[in-house]
Structure 1
């Protein structure tokens, strides 16, 4: 029996550009899910408990991930996991929920949109990666675009909320850069890394939550659903995709994807009856253009200038 033509001709390998597009699309699902944090926090979760919200988002998801992977850190990955868990989880989550409680969702999201610029700045001393004018330009335009969408005369700027938003953004930016620098230990996939960091962050939050906020608040059906969503899609699944993308994409391509978070928050607001003014529509277009253009290589003329 002769082999068929299908057996004789192997499927052509996927082009690098197609592989990168798939990686970008999967990685983008993480900030898309994070864009729902603001509406879930304000509509479903009990107010005044940002530490408990961070704990519920992190620890159950992390323990589930450990049960699935059945792997623990080894060697220096114990302290690296503790550092990354402190930055990406234990610091980010409570500050994010605090900002969401004290600021309009759009304002809080705009503060998060500054992350690509912070990542670019931190990449200079940590990764020895000097950002190009191309990356700086689109990073600034992305923040400006998001600002046009969500900021206006009606925006309430609470000092504590602003500091919380900027602090959480800075912590995650540092976590992104260190994750890129340290990579992953052999045999540990993105799900394993996500489980380690969520568990580490949750364990750091546990005693702090009990000491500061006391007993847990009353959890009704809506709050339970909110915690479940934030811990699953916004936690274990999102961070698995995010760490996978950070490992495969240049830091200059992965960081701007965080712009999707405020844009998704804006779309949710529109679905709930809000409308965009012409200036806001322009800002949305600018932010989206910055996000998409950051995934492309600079024009040849700019690359030549850099070589000179």
Structure 2
């Protein structure tokens, strides 16, 4: 199923870089303006003009893309995999679900979504087989003639990421892992998504929303592209609620993670920024209020690993 993409009329980057991006990433757009807003924001612990943050974040993820997965395993001791598994189980997608995964260039959430739908289909087939034990052959044949819409029963995941290097990593993994259907890749900005209104059943963003310049705009876009009844789900680093763990976590974050970044990825500064960006992200209750302000209902969150990360959920009613 094709996903309509809105026409793009401008690309908000310095001219030379914008031309380079157009050559490899048609349809890209960015949340920066070439005109100064006169407002500042944070880039980690630095204060920078708003129009510069997107460029700086883009360069961070461009730099870390090739080592992103191995660094995730190294930094979290593999626990990020359990967080993402919990995230998908909490989503509990049903056959036919249309998913938009934003800032998901490496495919971790989308691949898990596809695996979950496949498992749902296998479970459905087993249950059907049990129920058909006493049916005639003609009845069984008729049931298979009305079988589900292919292996994914109509489900699809669209991965949208602003960074073409992260998308490249995800597409390489796609080939390596052997996924053949149900996935599509789009270059786009979380603050101005290139999709029509009311298109998706579920919107996910994992470890990405803290990097956007205007979180409120990203939330408004999430609300816009979701169908009525659609669900917003965000997995993000948050505020640790155990004082002892918080001290150990800070020590590990600032003394170990940048060193790992230098050793494994040859990039100290990018991982220093990533650690700092976590500390600048709103705590759980404050982010919950921001989601509600964007129009979502039934907003709640679940802390994982004592609040090292939190899963936020809301519905467009």
TM-score with structure 1 length normalisation? 0.26
TM-score with structure 2 length normalisation? 0.26
Between Structure 1 and Structure 2, which shows a larger proportion of strand residues?
A: 2
Q: Which has the higher contact order (CA 8 A, sep 6+)?
A: 1
Between Structure 1 and Structure 2, which shows a larger proportion of helix residues?
A: 1
